[in-house]
Amino acid sequence: MHSFHIPVLGLGYSVDTPLKVARYGISSVVSIVDDELVERMRQYHSTQNGLPFTPILKSGPDSRSKRITAYLNLLNELVNKQFEELKQMPFNQGMDIDRYFNLLPEASPLKQGYELMNEYPEGERKQIFQDLLRARMNKGAIDVNIMAKVDKMNFDADGNYTGDTHTDALAALKGFAESELNSSVVLSAGMNPRLYSYLETFKCFYPDGNNELRKRIVLKVSDFRSALIQAKFLAKKGLWVSEFRIESGLNCGGHAFATDGLLLGPILEEFKLKREHMMHELLALYQPALAERGFTETNPAQKISVQGGIGTMQEDVFLREHYQMDATGWGSPFLLVPEATNVDEHTLQQLAGAGHDDFYVSSSSPLGILFNNFSKSSGEEQRLSRIANGRPGSPCNKKYLVSNTEFTEHPICTASREYQHLKIKQLKHSELPAAEIQKQIDAVTEKVCLCEGLCASAYIKNDILKARENKAVTICPGPNIAFFSGVYTLDDMVSHIYGHINLLEETIRPNMFINELNLYIDYLKKDISGYVANLNEKKGKYLLKFKDQLQQGITYYKELIPQISNQTQDYLERMLKDLLLSEEKLQLLNI
């Protein structure tokens, strides 16, 4: 129905977005990392809709997957109910059914049919036309996201390991697989062979009697090579990747995975050039694997989409037309749309009034992966306050990101008060220079609790925050959000995406490719400065390769600019000028 989707936004920000947008045909992605969160949201939405709620206790057998299944089934039930009610509404009375069609892009045959129907005189023919439109309406998908490598081992009350199929990622997958959803699981943050192998134990990922996939696999990827490796691994098991979602390495929200200087434009070009060959290569592995498992040979579809830093209709259209993308993802701007996401009022106003310097790539994630951060968040204020009071770190209640065994037998989280106390104590007793000790202490105390911080806003907005529960909010928008300075309705944002209005009309904003390039140059500059004292040959070669990849990307963009046909000449000249300035900045970096 729509040419865009709303990607996953932290833990809590899009946890119930399908209830807000799916009835209008807009697909979105729900995080299922946190089963405590989904259980709380299941209770909330059950109560709101007058439905019975039976809690699934954490101490019960297989509670994680059961909680996830129960929540996804509730979302499915409520969205189906919303959609059926919407379809039965009368036309032309300013109700949701008219909003459904008005939100559609102009090129949609369904919208064109709706506009034609409105020109018909009242009578039987108009009623038949309306019934045809209703029959062709579709709701948006309720997709889910699993960070493949966030896969903590779990133990029972007696300290016994509960088994490989009960680790966090595998239990979440089971929760989705056993749900009633007909949708996709988006696997992100790298390849987990154990998780990928677990997929083949569920029949729902194989073709049904109609040769259709009731549940589909989507890979979020940052380059062609890793996409092909992962897809081939799955194809050999008779598992098909229905979509590759290409995401900018740095110009995105949440965790950022900096490629080795490989920029989005060249990445998209490689997918465009090799797409057909990749399809044939994967089918050659997939079809025999299907036959071995007793399934009829099938030729499934495969989509490729792109997300990360898209800001205007012209950029969106260029990505879909020039690179033959099937769809785009618009994430962070929807944090400014209260109808669509869970951002508490205080954080919302802070975001709406923030400047470019308020958004930055940090090392605050306990996963050891770059993380997009917001300096004005209450979570960041709390982190600094705890340091000032001599109590750095957070209580670790949920333990989803425990991984460090430097001081303890069982893993603990590097954002926890326990770890930071032990690490700071060790550093203070070391023989390092005072300046180096402080530098390392700052790196330790930069880590923040994401498990609670990324859920707090959803609890606050829905008024389900418990007494004495942490109110500090962590939020992880992509840097592109800095160009949007307001609070918007769903209609505003969708109209902006499709070019009916321009929310950035008064904003000077470089092209998304230039924005990403500058983020990479700043990242390289910071990386060089971090190794200036002890740069070895291996790191030096890596940095030189990184810089060379950026230069190759700049050369590519110089050739690309004349091919951009949906922008004004003034815009293209400014884009070239910005590109040359970025090239000068890159050349000044001395390795």
pLDDT at 434: 93
Q: What is the mean pLDDT of residues 438-455?
A: 92
Confidence of residue 531 (pLDDT cuts 50, 70, 90): low
Q: Which of 308, 341, 347 is CA-nearest to residue 325?
A: 308
The DSSP element (H or E) to which 5 belongs, if any, is strand 4-6
Distances (CA, A) of 172 to 76, 150, 167, 310: 17, 11, 8, 30
Number of Cβ within a 10 Å radius of residue 193: 10
Q: What is the distance of C-alpha 422 from the center of its chain? A: 33
Contact (Cβ atoms closer than 8 angstroms) between residue 561 and residue 322:
no
The total number of residues shown for the chain amounts to 591
Q: Are 60 and 173 within 8 A, CB to CB?
A: no
102: Cα within 13 Å, side-chain hemisphere? 15
pLDDT at 400 over 90: no
What angle do helix axes 537-560 and 264-292 make, rounded to 10 degrees?
Answer: 100
Residue type, 87: K
pLDDT score for 347: 96
- Residues forming a β-bridge with 186: 145, 218
Above 70 in pLDDT, residue 134? yes
pLDDT on residue 369:
83
- Confidence at residue 536, expressed as pLDDT on a 0 to 100 scale: 79
Percentage of residues in the chain with pLDDT exceeding 70?
99
Tell me the C-alpha distance between 63 and 452, whole Å.
20
pLDDT the model gives residue 237: 97
pLDDT of 421 = 95
How much is the pLDDT for 180? 98
Other C-beta atoms closer than 10 Å to the C-beta of 485 total 16
Q: What is the band of 63 on the pLDDT scale with cuts at 50, 70, 90?
A: very high
- Residues 477 and 359 sit within 8 Å (Cβ to Cβ): yes
Q: What's the pLDDT at 326?
A: 97
8-12, 213-217, 367-371: the lowest-pLDDT one: 367-371
* Banded model confidence at residue 532, pLDDT cuts 50, 70, 90: low
- Residue 355 CB neighbour total at 10 angstroms: 10
Condensed to tens digits (0 to 9), the pLDDT of residues 545-572 reads 999 999 999 999 999 999 999 999 999 9
User: Are β-strands 359-362 and 370-374 bridged in parallel, bridged antiparallel, or unpaired?
Assistant: antiparallel
pLDDT, tens only, 337-370: 999 999 999 999 999 999 999 998 888 988 888 8
CA angle, residues 326, 328, 330, in degrees to nearest 5:
165
Give the pLDDT of residue 210: 86
For residue 189 the two structure tokens come to 């943050």
571-587 tens-digit pLDDT: 999 999 999 999 999 99
Q: Which of 323, 329, 328 is nearest to 563 (CA)?
A: 323
Q: Say whether 485 sits in a helix, a strand or coil.
A: coil
Q: Note whether 184 and 242 are within 8 A (CB).
A: yes
Q: By the 8 A CB rule, do 191 and 148 touch?
A: yes
Strands 327-329 and 255-256 turn out to be unpaired
Assigned token pair, 532? 């200036």
Does residue 159 surpass a pLDDT of 90? no
How distant is the alpha carbon of residue 490 from its chain centre? 19
SS (H, E, C) 472-492: CCCCCCCHHHHHCCCCCCHHH
Q: What is the largest CA-CA distance in the chain?
A: 89
In angstroms, rounded to a whole number, what is the distance separating the alpha carbons of residues 164 and 260? Answer: 33
Residue 54, helix vs strand vs coil? coil
pLDDT at res. 297 = 74
